Structure 1
Amino acid sequence: MFPLFSRLPRYPQTYRKPQPLNPMTNRKHTWRLPMLFFTCKVRGAWMKTLAISGVGRVPNALNPRMTTMSLSEVAFRNDPEKVQFYTGLPNYFVLETVMWLLVPHMKSEKNAKLSKFQQLLLTLMRLRLDLKNQDLAYRFGVKVATVTRTVHRIISIMFTTLVPTAVFWPSRTELRKNLPAAVRQTHPDCAVILDCFTVSLEKAVSVDANRQSPTETAEVVRHLSRPTSVSELKYVIGVAPQGVVMFVSRGSPGNVSDKTLVESCGLLCKLLPGDVVLAERDFDIGDLVGARKAELKITNDHSKMFKNDQNPREEASLISEERMNVYRHVGRVVQMVKKRYSMLTGPVESPFTVIDRSSNVTTFDKIVQVACALNNLSWTVHLAVQR
């Protein structure tokens, strides 16, 4: 006889029938097994295993932790770091303000699986962290199609309500009244600082001059002499001397010249006689700006460096300081927007380049303007705190 079977009992024994396992009860389920095994208690190691694997209800001791990890409105109310990480906004007050602006335009659905706050949070997480729809579907417990519809709907609502409120061209009086000291000394008549930035596409788009693409306006298409493949989008951004975005163009093919883009985006119509337009590099739009009786100044133009018999080193130092001031206002704003909302770093997914027939604007163009509007709100709060 093998030693293994020699340890079994020789005579029949009566065993208690095992009770169903329920780790949430206070009863200690104990029964005897042959000596080959061992006597165990459910409230011992088994319960820990069940708790870790997620079987059954979560013990009360873990409830506070689960509340902290949840994506509910209560979890964000007193946690500014969590608000900033998931939404890019500085605190819950700004998030609540955005919610207050959007709620009147959000439809109430009877069997909606996401609350209005969760719909906004899901969209901001898409912009902020550039999470995929499948990832968001797992996090919020909904289908991928629900995530897609929610993102497009909330982006459209923010584009029509939030962008006109936060991204606008202020009056000349407001611009000159709040000029920073660095700009006031060198360019007291500065109205806007121009720059361009590009975003790569996930999949190249074929653009034909005879067939307008959703990613550009008709004026831009006319300048394309032959069909070409577009792998990135280009945007013109106008920043106020105070550091807020006041103009964003629609996306155009990356191979379009800066002059063509500025001429067709509608920025020139906002200039007034006597305005000064600053740029770090030459946009070749001096004649277009001059037609509006305004003036274009390129901060890195060295053609006038050594006039009036000034010391070349002093003149070069002044130009370098002036150029740094312009870069600080424009380059920092562009980098801040991209850092705050990772979706703007690209590559842009193909569904976002499809034009919305109701507004004649692509979804990604809306996203760019919404990101600038949210950045302006955050920057305004930052300035208010400094004051």
Structure 2
Amino acid sequence: ILPTPTPTIDHAYSVRISDSYESKDQACQTILTGDDIDRLISLEKKQRCSFEGGSEVLDEAEPKVKYWSGKQSTEDVNYQSVDRCKSGPPRKLSKFNEYILTLMKLRLAILSFVLGDLFGVSESRVSQIFTTWINLMHMVLTPCIKWPSRRNIKKYMPRSFQTSFPKTTGIIDCTEMFIQKPKSPTAQSRTYSTYKSHNTFKCLVCITPSGAFSFISDLWGGNTSDRYITEHSGFLDSIRPGDEIMADRGFTIRDLLTDRRATLVIPPFTKKCKWGKGKRLSAADVVKTKSIAKHRIHVERSIRRLKLFRMLSQVMDIKFKPLANQMVKVSGFICNLDKPLVTK
């Protein structure tokens, strides 16, 4: 019977330290001799040389493997720390042209492929530019829609308010924007407006007596009541003691404003007649209703100015739902840059 040959060792790092080397155990410690330590160091050097040699071969065969080298890859990605341009394809449009493209999309609701033909970019690039810029404009411009101080309100208050409603600090109303019918039955029920007989988004707006937007809430489903939006949109956080808010008859929020020591001005409700059946307004109530309606109409004019942005006035595609809040608030800020709506 032939003796079994000793298996050959394929890799240097598989070499095992022989049991013949002297070692002593005391308690839980192992004492190695100097020769053992020298042998381990030489073995580690051989393993490192073999690994580095293999990586060099791979680097020559495929440059992309250099990503795994670590140090150089982090230096390449950190382009912001040095004077170098961003990696990737060059920008096809200047920042100003991208800004103009966003405003054209928001104001005129031009289709993306038409804007792509006008600016010489693809349809997907138009969508990317609009999404990026509308989010940037929302982040920068929305904080500029502020509740003004009472001193500034009185400074720019029209003469008609000074004589009839001198304490008025805001006029509120809710507006709705048509949207495409969602596929989900739950979303359909939450966005269906019985007032408009359509699926809508709804938001609360407040203007100053001069017609500038001082508050624009986030969008809610069209099925949400005006009182619920007023209570949960953050509008009440801006109310200060002594403020006077003008609203339509449907805003039953007198108790909410009373808790903040503010006053609600709405047209009077009809009362039961003493001389017959039904409900009617007295002569004094008719005069008061006309006076309130004459001044409250300015919030409708401000909403009309907001709806001149066709992305808000036409039926909104459901794919723009993540950008709907941004579009409304950016449009409201741009409206504030226009001339005062009420001057007399």
Fold conserved (TM > 0.5)? yes
Taking a change above 3 Å as real, the CA distance of residues 227 and 195 of structure 1, as seen in their structure-2 partners, is closer
Match of 2:117 in 1: 138
Q: State the secondary structure of the residue aligned to 2:209.
A: coil
Shift of 1:189: 1.1
Q: State the secondary structure of the residue aligned to 2:296.
A: helix
Q: Residue 283 in 1 paired to residue 251 in 2?
A: yes
Taking a change above 3 Å as real, the CA distance of residues 108 and 338 of structure 1, as seen in their structure-2 partners, is farther
Q: Report the Cα distance in structure 2 between the residues aligned to 1:108 and 1:196, rounded to whole angstroms.
A: 46
Structure ID, larger Rg: 2
Aligned pair partner of 2:335 in 372, 375, 387: 375
Match of 2:217 in 1: 249
Q: Residue 344 in 1 paired to residue 304 in 2?
A: no
Shift of 1:320: 1.3
Amino acid at match of 1:132: L
Shift of 1:111: 1.1
Cα root mean square deviation, aligned: 3.0
Shift of 1:257: 0.8
Q: Deviations over 1:156-189 (max 9, x none)?
A: 1111112222x11111111122211111222111
Taking a change above 3 Å as real, the CA distance of residues 108 and 378 of structure 1, as seen in their structure-2 partners, is farther
Q: How does 1:129-208 map to 2 (within 5 A)?
A: 129-165=108-144, 167-204=145-182, 206=184
Taking a change above 3 Å as real, the CA distance of residues 303 and 175 of structure 1, as seen in their structure-2 partners, is farther
Match of 1:331 in 2: 300
CA contact (8 A) 2:202 2:220 kept: yes
Amino acid at match of 2:155: K
Q: State the secondary structure of the residue aligned to 2:121.
A: coil
Q: Deviations over 1:113-169 (max 9, x none)?
A: 11111101111111111111111111111001110010011111111112222x111
CA contact (8 A) 1:233 1:254 kept: yes
Q: Report the Cα distance in structure 1 between the residues aligned to 2:102 and 2:211, rounded to whole angstroms.
A: 26
Q: State the secondary structure of the residue aligned to 2:242.
A: coil
Match of 1:9 in 2: none
Aligned pair partner of 2:326 in 366, 374, 382: 366
Q: Which runs of 5+ in 1 are unaligned?
A: 1-106, 214-225, 305-310, 355-362
Shift of 1:314: 6.9
Q: State the secondary structure of the residue aligned to 2:147.
A: coil
Q: State the secondary structure of the residue aligned to 1:179.
A: coil
Q: Report the Cα distance in structure 2 between the residues aligned to 1:283 and 1:250, rounded to whole angstroms.
A: 18
Match of 1:24 in 2: none
Amino acid at match of 1:203: K
Q: Report the Cα distance in structure 2 between the residues aligned to 1:201 and 1:194, rounded to whole angstroms.
A: 23
Q: Report the Cα distance in structure 2 between the residues aligned to 1:228 and 1:280, rounded to whole angstroms.
A: 23
Amino acid at match of 1:254: G
- Number of equivalenced pairs: 247
Shift of 1:379: 2.7
Aligned pair partner of 1:124 in 103, 111, 116: 103
Q: State the secondary structure of the residue aligned to 1:199.
A: strand
Shift of 1:332: 0.5
Q: Deviations over 1:276-333 (max 9, x none)?
A: 11013321111111111111110354559xxxxxx96576345313312211x20101
